[in-house]
Amino acid sequence: MTVKQVQLHFRILRRLSMAVTNEASPVYKDSALYFFERNEDLWGRKGKEVLLQESSKYLDCFQSALPSLSDLRDAAEALHIMNLRGCTPKLAGRNVAEHARALTMYNQLPTAVVAKFPAHKALVQDFLSTSAFHEKFPYGMTVDGVEVKEHPIFPDFGYESLERLVQEVLAPTLSGKRHNNLMNATNPNQIGFVRMISPDLEHLYAPQTAQRRAVPTSAAGELVDSR
């Protein structure tokens, strides 16, 4: 191993170890380095799940594409959860940087889209991040490595705008089915499928929230019989 290769490895490890949940109180668990090492714990050193991290060239390209340590941590977590769910993208070749930036959208998109529908936010807490989603609706393998064969069943919310928001935007994205749509994205609200469905959701949302406000409630928040 040459001096340059050693320096490359140290640079990668340094950034991965610094990409933590809370920079003011850094811990190893849930850092970017933690997620890459969990990949190796579960799948060894061969297979598509570890293709990226077994190449120092690709891994350096991945981390270099994400100047923000927070984005780097989120991308590493999203990739790990995609591995668990059995929908690993092929992270090799010239598109590694684009895949890295797409992986940051997995946490950014739900937050940005749900912000348009504040009355629904409390009902979709399990759809606001990759970790919360996979914990509530595991598929493929849990974070502990336990196999899960049953497809997740999402709740019936009773509001059309919320149903479509979950079924057409949040669940497909967090399940990894919209990964190609996230490639080259910089603004979550400008992603093609989000931009197409947003007007319909907003049109449905307005009367539903107005109707919800019109229902009289007691001080405890319970429905009141106004007859």
Residue 59 has pLDDT above 90, yes or no: yes
Per residue in 153-182, pLDDT tens? 999 888 899 999 999 999 999 999 999 999
What does pTM read for this prediction?
A: 0.87
Alpha helices by DSSP H, listed for the chain, are 3-18, 32-43, 56-64, 69-84, 96-114, 130-136, 160-165, 171-174, 179-182, 192-214
Token match 């990759």: residue? 130
- Look at residue 217 and tell me whether its pLDDT is greater than 50: no
Binned at pLDDT 50, 70 and 90, residue 94 comes out as confident
For the chain, which residues make up each domain, given as ranges? 3-214
